[in-house]
Amino acid sequence: MTLRIKLSRLLKVKIRLMRLDISLFEKIECVAKNIYRADEVIADKKIRDQLKQWEDQGYGKLPVCMAKTQYSFTTDPTQRGAPTGFSVPIREVRLSAGAGFVVAICGEIMTMPGLPSVPAAESIRINDDGVIDGLF
């Protein structure tokens, strides 16, 4: 016996964490406080000004994505479980306009680098002696 659920039934069940008409910084605070249980979000003037500029350019209704350690609700990977009473520092923000969201880089996390414009595979060859050239 298989379990069958109608897609239309699933679509009726929605949980909305936040409204999209609040500011980008308020969206970041909403995630940090309501999901991670943080007391506050720390962002310097440069970060807040960048978010405001994007809002003025029409990107204010985009959702936010939080990039932080996967090991903790805090930005400290050594704090396990579900701690409370901590701050979430925003180190950087990035606009992913094509993908349709804003990324808040939290704490000390390394993000994946982008791909080069020319793939490294294009320079790999087998020379006249049968030896592979062009590998790093």
SS3 assignment, position 128? coil
User: Quick one: pLDDT at residue 93?
Assistant: 97
Strands (E), the chain: 40-42, 64-67, 87-96, 101-106, 125-126, 132-133
β-pair partners for 66? 104
Tell the CATH topology of 17-111. Answer: Formyltetrahydrofolate synthetase; domain 3 (3.10.410)
What is the pLDDT confidence band of residue 16, given thresholds at 50, 70 and 90? low
Place of tokens 């029409």: 58
pLDDT per position as a tens digit, 53-84: 999 999 999 999 999 888 888 888 888 888 88
- What are the residue ranges spanned by the domains of the chain? 17-111
* 14 Cα distance to chain centroid: 22
Residue 132 above 80 pLDDT? Answer: yes
